[in-house]
Amino acid sequence: MGASVGTAQGLKPAVETADARLHASPPAEAIRSQLESILASPAFRSARAQGNFLRYVVEETLAGRANQIKEYSIGVEVFGRGKSFDPRVNNIVRAEANRLRARLAKYYQTEGCESPVRIDLPKGGYAPAFMETAAVQTPAREVAVERSAPGHRLWLLSWKAAALLLLVLLLAGFSAVLWRLRQGSVRANGNPSIAVLPFLNLSGNKDDEFFSDGLTDELIDSLGRVPRLEVVARTSAFEFKGKTLDVREIGRKLNVRTVLEGTVRKYGDRLRITVQLDDTGTGYRMWSESYDRQAKDALAIQREISQAITSELGVALAGNSRRWRSNSTAHETASVNPQAYEDYLKGVFFWNKNTPESINIAIGYLKQAVQNDPDFALSYLGLARCYTGLSVMTATPAREVIPELRAAAQKALDLDGTLGEAHVDLAEAYTFDFGWNAAEQEFKKALALSPASAVAHRWYAYYLNKMGRLDEAMAENKRALELDPVSPYLAQGMADSLYVLHRYQDAIDQSQKVLALEPNFAMTRESLGMAFIASGKYAEGLSELQLARQLMGSNPWADGQLAYAYAVSGQLEPARQLLNELLQQYQYSAFPAMAIAEAYIGLKDKDRAYEWLQKAVDNHEVQLKLRADPIYDPLRSDPRFEELLRRMKLS
């Protein structure tokens, strides 16, 4: 087998011809063209699993790695099985290979019967075989008829006339289908809708996954800035990573009428990206394209993909939607330093892991990106996100990150004033500093620029809860969930709103729906536990809070709430034991005073509770929701509570 293509021996075409000629080793571009034709055919349109399988083995063979195509590598690279995948136990690859062979046979027996190149998957292995055939001139059945009696010749003419009529009808039907496809991409509210599924990494190196994930993230962000185009948020889209569901089922789950999916392969300084846009109502492919460029052109490719999709859906890109620099053009986007872009993607990759450790790794990569290209706006946006996350996910005091958060968000906006996400981070900086009016103005700017940003709606809801505007917060949480319908985090936002409205049973029901999506979502276990405690179901509440603490590991907020729950349920000894542990930790490390205050509230020690709440206010602790959280109900009639609100500029 050569470095570019394989050979086929002993294989017969699916339809015999009067003048069949077979030639080994067709050109690589001819093979790729045939691959795209196969994947665009009705036989493969709704078969994502077999389509990805075929693309992977063909690309690996063309890259000269046919001898490396093994059952294990296919299971891991194509079907998303982890490194523990054992093909001796799990037969998914063998089963899908049989389905692929059957689907290829169907293709070459029908619309592919005149294909100039044939791609087969011989039994006994997973490396494909390629052959070049002459265009089919006359099907075997017609040859037999032509050579028979004259009466049969008349029958043949009638058959051809019927076939011609059928072709006309099919073309008319296709036009109607095409019209329905374009209409079908529109939701009931009149807006087109799309989900960008995680791109498949075909590089053969798991370390390159940051690139395929990063490209997916950036396409989601870029398309999310298009007016009237509703884009499913990242969390929901990435629920389908490594899964092989039919696009029609994905459409039903995400409530979208179009799905974008693709593959990414990096080899040396080259980059090959293939994309396809599918209609989820029919499973038909609406558009597809391949890009073979230098890796440094990644930003320009992303722009091209965005423009092609919006054109296909009949939506124009916003005239001022310049993703990378406020004064950039599509051509200039390619001039961003390639190493800076790679560092940026790595930073985003680790940020999305949502752990305290990964945030610090992300900050390191994003700072490298800034050094390599000081004019790349998205690097500053990434840093702003990380600084916000430090205060939310770690015990880092908010007052320590406010200057860096504000500087990073403002620098991103100076370079690109259309970045709605940067306004969210700037709003958070004002929120941390109790600049409530300025924060709301920034949230409104963010939503004006990025109305389809689920994160912007969720963070605005969090702000509204702090302000005590609970019904408005509920509306924002509802909108966020509509934009990201299978996100546990955003579904939990609805439960949080119900809890602060004192609708405890509704909060319990909503939290249990979230756990149906993600049973080990610690935030929901914690929220469910507090709703049980507030409704007097102490045993259930303690059970959930203990499980949340196990899932979170070392988490002071979880410890504080568990101490509170022990105390209000009458178990004073374990409550005091946890409180003593919190007090010891406070002496030696950055630690939220709010957690200690909540333990004292449970123990009905108001004097010490106010003492620690004052420290929490002085530290600008971002988790503090004095106006909303029912845990503070016993304190609200005390004049000292009003003083706390004044210190936070909330009175």
Tens-digit pLDDT profile for residues 427-458: 999 999 999 999 999 999 999 988 878 889 99
Taking CA atoms, 458 is separated from 34, 378, 487, in Å, by 46, 21, 12
Q: What is the DSSP string of 500-527?
A: HTT-HHHHHHHHHHHHHH-TT-HHHHHH
Nearest alpha-carbon partner for 487 in 187, 254, 261 = 254
- Dig out the tokens for 421 from the structure: 């996400």
Q: What rounded mean pLDDT belongs to the chain? A: 80
Sequence-ordered alpha helix ranges (H) in 450-571:
454-467, 470-483, 488-500, 504-517, 522-534, 538-552, 556-568
Of all residues in the chain, what percent carry a pLDDT higher than 90? 34
Torsion of CA 574, 580, 581, 584, to 10 degrees: 180
Q: How far apart are the first and last CA of the chain?
A: 77
User: What letter would DSSP give residue 638?
Assistant: S
- Dig out the tokens for 167 from the structure: 């072709």
Phi, psi of 450 (to 5 degrees): -130, 70
Residue bearing the bigger pLDDT, 481 or 323: 481
pLDDT digits (tens, 9 = 90+) for 605-621: 999 999 999 999 998 88
User: What letter would DSSP give residue 118?
Assistant: E
293's enclosing H/E stretch is strand 285-294
Q: Measured between alpha carbons, how far is 239 from 227 in angstroms, rounded to an integer?
A: 25
pLDDT given for residue 526 in this prediction = 94
163 CB-near residues (< 8 Å, 6+ apart):
none
* Average pLDDT of span 336-352: 84
pLDDT given for residue 601 in this prediction = 97
Spatial contact of 5 and 26, defined as CB atoms under 8 Å apart: yes
Q: Measured between alpha carbons, how far is 68 from 72 in angstroms, rounded to an integer?
A: 10
Residue bearing the bigger pLDDT, 29 or 134: 29
Q: Measured between alpha carbons, how far is 141 from 276 in angstroms, rounded to an integer?
A: 36
pLDDT given for residue 445 in this prediction = 95
Torsion sign (Cα): 373, 375, 376, 382 = positive
Chain centroid to CA 327? 28
Torsion sign (Cα): 508, 509, 514, 518 = positive
User: What letter would DSSP give residue 186?
Assistant: B
- How crowded is the C-beta side of 47, counted as CA atoms within 13 Å? 21
User: What letter would DSSP give residue 207?
Assistant: G
pLDDT given for residue 598 in this prediction = 96
Q: Which range (297-306, 371-380, 401-410, 436-445) has the least confidence?
A: 297-306
pLDDT given for residue 142 in this prediction = 39
Q: What is the DSSP string of 46-106?
A: T-HHHHHHHHHHHHHHHTT-GGG--HHHHHHHTT---TT--TTT--HHHHHHHHHHHHHHH
Nearest alpha-carbon partner for 563 in 578, 582, 547 = 578
- Please count the other Cβ atoms lying within 10 Å of the Cβ belonging to residue 532: 23
User: What letter would DSSP give residue 245?
Assistant: -
Q: Measured between alpha carbons, how far is 167 from 164 in angstroms, rounded to an integer?
A: 5
Complete domains list, the chain, with CATH? 22-133 (no CATH), 193-320 (3.40.50.10610), 322-418 (1.25.40.10), 554-651 (no CATH)
pLDDT band of residue 24 (cuts 50, 70, 90) is low
Residue bearing the bigger pLDDT, 392 or 3: 392
pLDDT band of residue 293 (cuts 50, 70, 90) is confident
* Average pLDDT of span 508-516: 93
pLDDT given for residue 180 in this prediction = 38
pTM, to two decimals: 0.65
pLDDT digits (tens, 9 = 90+) for 363-396: 999 999 999 999 999 999 999 999 988 877 776 7
pLDDT given for residue 642 in this prediction = 94
275's enclosing H/E stretch is strand 270-279
User: What letter would DSSP give residue 603?
Assistant: T
345's enclosing H/E stretch is helix 338-351
Q: What is the 3-state secondary structure (H, E, C) of 365-424?
A: HHHHHHHHCCCCHHHHHHHHHHHHHHHHHCCCCHHHHHHHHHHHHHHHHHHCCCCHHHHH
Q: Measured between alpha carbons, how far is 15 from 101 in angstroms, rounded to an integer?
A: 16
